[in-house]
Amino acid sequence: MSSGVEFVRATATDVGDVLSVLDDAAAWLAAGGVRQWPERFAADWVTPAVERGETWLVRSGGRTAGTVTLDWSDPLWSDLPGRAGYVHRMAVRPVGRRHRPRHPGLGRRTGPRPGRRGAPA
């Protein structure tokens, strides 16, 4: 089992893992009074991005610790000129007991870095 962090492009067989991370993060947000995401994510909402190869799993210590979706278009921003990538549904497993991260620093390492194209950091 690896102790490092790795990014793996999600496949159809990984949709359950993607949903599990998103649902855990949504529950954690809701417990803190943040109503940003639905209580439960539907598979048909994430599957198209997985099928297009836009969704990544973040693994730490051999376990799924997070997910991020990187889109190359977004209807909300379609009126802006230039090329851009859009980060969607970025989540890491919520903090553990006493607010200690299960995977310290993973949130900073999950998103794409400015200036890098096509894959998470």
Domain extents in the chain: 5-108
Using CA atoms of 43, 63, 1, 118 in order, give the dihedral in degrees to the nearest 10. Answer: 70
For tokens 């793996």, what's the residue?
8
Under CATH, to which class is 5-108 assigned?
alpha beta
Q: What is the pLDDT of residues 6-60, one digit of tens each?
A: 889 999 999 999 999 999 989 888 888 988 888 899 999 999 999 999 999 998 8
Helix (H) or strand (E) holding 67: strand 63-71
pLDDT score of 101 more than 80: no
Q: What is the mean pLDDT of the chain?
A: 77
